[in-house]
Structure 1
């Protein structure tokens, strides 16, 4: 009898121990899950905070560099606002080439590319045509060569592109326009004459004409990506970047032009096109408002 009583006591003790251990492990597992969730929430919160800090510091740095007035230092402080996972260099490796975000993703059945500032150098145009499947309409424009323009300074000289350029442009489904932007040729005029209503990629290198020629266009027309060389002082660069930011363009690449100390190339994408090109947002680095 005593033996049976002892066995029962031992059994009950083991049962209680098993239940206790089971409850502990279950509770501990829940605590671990809650702890993991809290850590994830903390990471997300910290990420948002980091993005906010990134934006504030970047904007502060830019404004400080504008006051200093040193172009090279300003360029180093222009931070990307989005991340393009498939950034591609199109055109020449030196001056003339541009960084484009995932160009092969463009809708090849209905795409338009504008290339402003040819100077009979169309490596970018030929390359972008190849990468996008050769089906996009390419609208190119320039005055005569920039060297000749410098010689005559204030005169507006208009001349046709060379026969070789004309032939090559026709082969890539291109249309050529002649004029000084925006004085004798505007971007809306080019688009309307070509029968198009929107632009997928806009490359612009028009030796200062960007400051007055671009905003009226992006104000009224849909543009997905802009590849622009801005000319002038840091304040002129920031003012131009602010104009584009006002219409929801975000920077994904900055590339100083080492042949021109007051020139820098920027690549931007419109917020409306970010999802299509697989772009990830960071933080806004261009301060709003006038200088």
Structure 2
């Protein structure tokens, strides 16, 4: 069996993926796409990736398969306390500034490409610790992603044991539970923290986001690099439109807002504040 994507099929897939999710698929990604779509073809009991593409493009299967296709090809690299200086800034500068400006009210944080939830739960740990140490304030975290599969895992809050290694030991003791069956080598975020974090599907390519327009902090890290410049600009405009005046935007360390002119000023490396 010659289970490879033809040039035509890969080009059609690349156009669909970029058009729907904004993610560029250069020729160098072809082998990765083939590998991931083989699993999807098997799930549908189709012989190979060529037969899968016939189903998508010649037999009208794309409409009902689109979400699964995006799930299959989306890269969901994430870690707890990834780029930890951002979480230091959140604790030491951003949240205190928000509270000083707004007083005793709900602090809203949005993880805009949340994947399996590590970033959202990391932020939740930081906010919970600030609350525990006082003075108390109300807070809530929203995580969104285009992939339904990763959102299901995020909602469960179950992870391989080694994945929480970057979490400081005192926070692990408070916010992470070991599986009763130690042979499974899994952990779960404690229910008290999970209740404060909500997940929903959202495509950053959509023209409108079903998210509150008074968010205090937005994390959108390490996703813009997959978009072309025009899409980056459009996404940043929409994200900034959901921030309160004085709110903070965190980008990945390989990303920037160069030429943005979006009413934001840089206050730390890849951290911006809305005027």
TM over 0.5: no
Larger radius of gyration: 1
| Highest RCO, 1 vs 2 (Cα 8 Å, sep ≥ 6) | 1
TM bucket normalised to smaller: 0.3 to 0.5
TM-score of the superposed pair, with normalisation by structure 1? 0.40
